[in-house]
Amino acid sequence: MIVSPLNKLVCPLCAKPLVAEPSRLVCGAGHSFDKSRNGHVNLLPVQNKRSLSPGDSKQMVQWRHAFLAGGYYDAIAEKINDLVSKQLTTRSSLESYTVIDGGCGEGYYLTELATHLRRLSLATEVLICGLDISKWAVQAAAKRDKSIQWIVASNKSIPVNRASTDLILCAFGFHCYDSFADTLKSGGVLILVDTYEDHLIEMRKLLYPTIKPFQPASNDGAIEAGFSLSHSERLTVKRDLPRADIERLLGMTPHMHRAPKEGIEKVTSLEHLTLTIDVSFRVFVKD
C-alpha cells in the first residue's frame, strides 16, 4: 500500500482547484497560499478566524506531543487503525482511497494510522490529509510525516471538492456534520472518537468539587445530516502516570483553564496517579 499526500485541495476563498507549485498553491482566480518549510499550508482565511490564533496554543501542543509520546493513548490509536483498516480491506479493489483527519492536532493519530497502513498488503493508494484550526498544531504535525498533506483549516469548511472523500476521522474534535456530509462520497465513512463517562475520572474528581452528570454524545446531528450509525463501541483502560506526565496531561486539556485553583494544586502536587482512559468510537455511513 502506498500512502500519499492528498493533492486535490480547493481554494478556501473561491472553491476553485488549487495547483501545486514549488513554493505555493495557487488557484485559477489567482489566490495564492505559501507552503511552509515543512510543507504544510494555511488555508484558513482571516475572515473565518474567531481570534488571531484560534485553537490550541503552542504550549498546549507541546504538552500534548510530550504526553502522547509516553504511549498512554496507544490503545486509542490501535483501535482507530483497526476501524480504518476494516473499511479499506472491504474496498481493496479501489485504486485510491481518501482519508481526512478533521481536527488532527499535532498529528499523533494520523501518523500512527499512516504507519499502520503501510504494513497492509493492499494495492490501494491512500491519499491522506490532516487539518486543524491551530497553526501551532499543524506546524508540529508537519514535522512528523511528509507523506501526509497537513493544512490549517476548519472542520466547518473543509477545503476539498464536494463528495470527494472516502473517510473522515474526527478524534476529540468538533463535529461539523453538514460539512462532513458535504465532503464525503455517498457511502463514505465518518469515524468519531469522543471521551466517555469515566475518562480521566480520577483527575476530574480531584480538580472539581462536584462532577457534572455525564451526557453521552448524541447521534441526532449525524442522522439529521444524512448519516446512519453502523457501529459503536467503548474502550476503557487504566494507565499509570508519573508527575511530569500528570502535569502535561492537565496542560493539554481544557481543565487547566476551567478547574478551580485548589483543584489544580491538588493534581500538580501528585507524584503518581492511576487514570482511567474511557472513550467511545462511532462509525457512521453517509446515506
pLDDT exceeds 70 at position 49: no
Q: Is the pLDDT of residue 222 over 70?
A: yes
For residues 260 and 272, what is the distance between their CA atoms, to the nearest angstrom? 21
CA dist., res. 96 & res. 84, Å (int): 14
Assign 176 a pLDDT band (cuts: 50, 70, 90): very high
Alpha-carbon dihedral of residues 177, 39, 105, 121, nearest 10 degrees? Answer: 80
- Average pLDDT score over the chain: 95
Please tell me whether the overall predicted TM-score, pTM, comes out greater than 0.85 for this model. yes
User: What residue type is assigned to position 71 of the chain?
Assistant: G
- Percent with pLDDT over 90 in the chain: 90
What pLDDT is recorded for position 92?
A: 76
> Is 14 among the annotated ligand-binding positions?
yes
**Lookup result for grid cell 449525524:** 222
Give the Cα-Cα-Cα angle 12, 153, 280 (nearest 5 degrees).
135
Please say if the pLDDT value at position 47 is more than 80: no
Tell whether 106 is in a known binding site. yes
Which CATH number fits the domain 2-6+40-286, given the four candidates 3.30.2320.80, 3.30.460.80, 3.40.50.150, 3.30.70.100? 3.40.50.150
| Mean pLDDT score, 91-111 | 94
pLDDT of residue 93: 83
The residue-averaged pLDDT of 24-28 equals 96
Which sequence spans correspond to the domains of the chain? 2-6+40-286
104 in a known ligand binding site = no
Q: What is the DSSP letter of 271?
A: S
Percent share of the chain, pLDDT over 70: 98
Tell whether residue 129 is among the known ligand binding residues: no
For residue 279, pLDDT over 80 is answered with: yes
Nearest to 189 by CA among 172, 173, 165, 171: 165
pLDDT at 54 over 90: no
> What's the mean pLDDT in 153-178?
96
Ligand-binding site membership of 11 (annotated)? yes
Q: How many CA atoms lie within 13 A of 279 on its CB side?
A: 21
**What's the whole-number mean pLDDT along residues 122-135?**
95
55 is in an annotated binding site: no
Q: Counting runs of H as helices and runs of E as strands, what totals does the chain give?
A: 10, 12
Which band of pLDDT confidence, cut at 50, 70 and 90, is reported for residue 277? very high
Looking at the DSSP bridge assignments, the partners of residue 229 are 284
C-alpha cell belonging to residue 137: 498544531
Q: Is 107 annotated as a binding residue?
A: yes
Identity of residue 282? R
| Three cell numbers written together for 78 | 490501535
Kindly indicate the confidence band of residue 240, based on its pLDDT and cuts at 50, 70 and 90: very high
pLDDT tens sequence across 201-218: 999 999 999 999 999 899
Q: Is 73 annotated as a binding residue?
A: yes
